[in-house]
Structure 1
Amino acid sequence: MILVTGATGTVGSEVLRRLPAGAEVRAMSRDPARVTAAGHAVEAVRGDHRDPRSLAAALRGVRRAFLVTNGVQGDDDVRFLRAAGEAGVRHVVKLSAAAVLDRDAQDLVTRWQRSCEEALRTSGLEWTLLRPRAFMSNALGWTGSVRAEQVVRALHGTAVTSCVDPRDVAEVAVRALTEEGHGGSSYTLTGPEAISAAEQTRVLGRLLGRPLRFEELSRDQARAALRRRHPAPVAEALLESADRGRDGAKARVEDTVRTVTGHGARTFRDWARDHLAAFVPPPDLPRESTAVRGTLDRNSMVPG
């Protein structure tokens, strides 16, 4: 039995879609009704890292698990790993972040991710760590302003990041969950190129067949946007992460996706083409100004 936590999230939902037909799969979510599995049978269960009974039920009979947590400074990983050990789980594949490898990354979120990794490595369970850069799908945060104003807003718009398609991260996760030989491995996952928000804007515009404008956010605008979505300490951590990107810390490209899956990582153009409908305005959408959106948090709890 394979357990997928974060089953309705960016990567967890893609993992569910890619697990082989016939595999015994259980999906854990706070809202099981939202779980979709693209046509094959999945047992959806309610689970909460802070509810020991729900964890025990979700882990019953599980031998491999995909672990996603986002409670910064919390002990959800420790709780899950303790319950997993008691349930007889053999192997945990953990979604972490590439930033943990950067010695200069000392923001709150990255320090929390490092502590989560350490909890897994010392748990006594077999482990695999997935360390993605920022997700290409965070560009979906621009859909409102693109639809209404034909504009993208971000901080440090010329800073480049080797962002990765969540589908590629999910494919690596599925390999680690279904094949032998991945125990004790840490995989840094990036796209095939380092690209800036300004260039992503140009790519989107070309695909849409209409020019899009890029506008640089001030630091105060970015902070305000992030604080609408996150507690203040997390917002500050994401601003620190954005500054590291400005300084070139997120530009390195790895070929790990090809090494593990056998195919090269998707480009941002690939991702954008497949999600273009999200940026196309309905015919009756009024052309009105939208609020400044927070587009720094490229994968909210993975500052990359």
Structure 2
Amino acid sequence: MDSLAAAPGTGPATSPLPVLRKPRPRAEFKDLPTDRTLVMGILNVTPDSFSDGGQHGTADSAISHGLRMFYAGADIVDVGGESTRPNAEPVSPEEEQARVLPVIEALVKAGALVSIDTTHASTAAAALDAGAAIINDISGLTVEPEMIELVAASKAPYILTHRRGNAATMDSLANYENLTQEVVQELTEVREKFYAAGVQPEQLIVDPGLGFAKNDQQNWELLRNVSALDALGHPVLVAASRKRFIGSLLKTSGKAAQPLERDHGTAAITAVVAANGAWAVRVHDVVANLDAVKVAALLRG
């Protein structure tokens, strides 16, 4: 008799019990593809992110969305528990960790390579302990000394983003005489702090910080000149997805396109920066942007 069939006198068979997947081997940074631009999926475990606030505010919904991105082909899933939009309310490290750690643990168990999107060294340390492999910190010029020490001690890859000020002040600090030159110079100055602490060059990835202390025109200018960051000698991450400068361009009836209406513009940016050799793009729509980087890789040969 089939073991799932009903025993005599017990009525019809019940549905089979779900099969529990065994944890996969932990994904490692060194195993990431090198033949195309990588796709980093954005997973906001927050109630107030500009593009999807509240959609994935619980651990269960965030895990489900993270797994969908992973199975759709995201090379990295970037998990954040604090909104980084202009004028966002700050979140304590304790609250941030309560949001992100269960999500990170579940995604790592499923085999995803996870980065932690945080400005807090204590959250980054807890995330690494939970299995995250990369620290994505948008602090820029205000990076915590403890974060620098953590990166040096952990040897973890670290994404160094250009930003002046914080969420409350950065919009007022978008004043440049030579935008691209100053972005490169300020990234170099922050990088020296990491080097002085013992961080190795191969640990660092640089991000021009689109939307952080830059207005619409400056974001487009920086994208046109993003190859200037190559002079720093590190991989370059471009994070343009659904940002307001795309919405300002893609107006409908005089109104800026809403965040969910900016995905086509995002994919266009992805195709261009991937064709020019960007290491990775950080995006909301994994499928469309993965298609874009594959096309760019083919055209690059």
TM-score strictly above 0.5: no
TM-score by length of 2: 0.35
TM-score by length of 1: 0.34
